[in-house]
Amino acid sequence: MPDIILIAHNIRSTHNVGALFRSAECFGVGKIILSGYTPYPTYDGDPRIPHIARKLTDQIHKTALGTETMVPFVYTQTPPLDALREEGYQIVALEQSEQSIPLTKYSLRQPVALIIGEEVNGIEPQLLAECDDVIEISQYGRKESLNVSVAAGIALYALRSST
């Protein structure tokens, strides 16, 4: 079963981050990379002011329900795409765009680093351009929008099921 890494870039909500940890644990994600302004749980060597780190960790825990201690994670300002490629990962964005492949037609061929982006505007164009593939969830309603943690859960399930 190919490895999956989840990259959560510029996610604003601690509740979404907690939900991402729960889905990641459920679908066997090997690691979460939290980047940009995404809030993250406390870790050894955390440079943040202790009361701020505790507050964010407590908020993440409300939806993560302990999975934030079960799924390995790192925080970095910028997603390490080149380093992941060197390790053999295919960089895949979950985003609606002109070049998107329907999720139902995509299957894992190698380890994947799945990038999800900011709740309202999605993945920044320059970061999207650095991805190897872009996948999207076919939608049939009028809004054509899902919560980022819900979309990530659907994508993780589909990617796991495609192997």
> Considering only 10-14, 60-64, 118-122, which range has the smallest mean pLDDT?
118-122
Q: Which domain holds residue 26?
A: 4-161
26 burial level (CB within 10 Å; 0-12, 13-18, 19+): middle
| pLDDT for 163 beyond 80 | no
User: Would the pTM count as exceeding 0.85?
Assistant: yes
pLDDT of residue 145: 85
Average pLDDT, the chain: 95
Tell which residue, 143, 141, 144, has the closest CA to residue 95. Answer: 144
Distance CA 51, CA 27 (A): 32
CATH number at 104 reads: 3.40.1280.10
Q: What is the DSSP string of 113-160?
A: EEEE-BTTTBS-HHHHHT-SEEEE----SSS----HHHHHHHHHHHHH
Are 92 and 135 within 8 A, CB to CB?
yes
φ/ψ region of 162 (left if φ > 0, alpha if ψ in -120 to 50, else beta) reads: alpha
Distance CA 43, CA 96 (A): 33
Are 90 and 112 within 8 A, CB to CB?
yes
pLDDT of residue 2: 67
Tell which residue, 87, 85, 71, 76, has the closest CA to residue 152. Answer: 71
Number of structural domains the chain divides into: 1
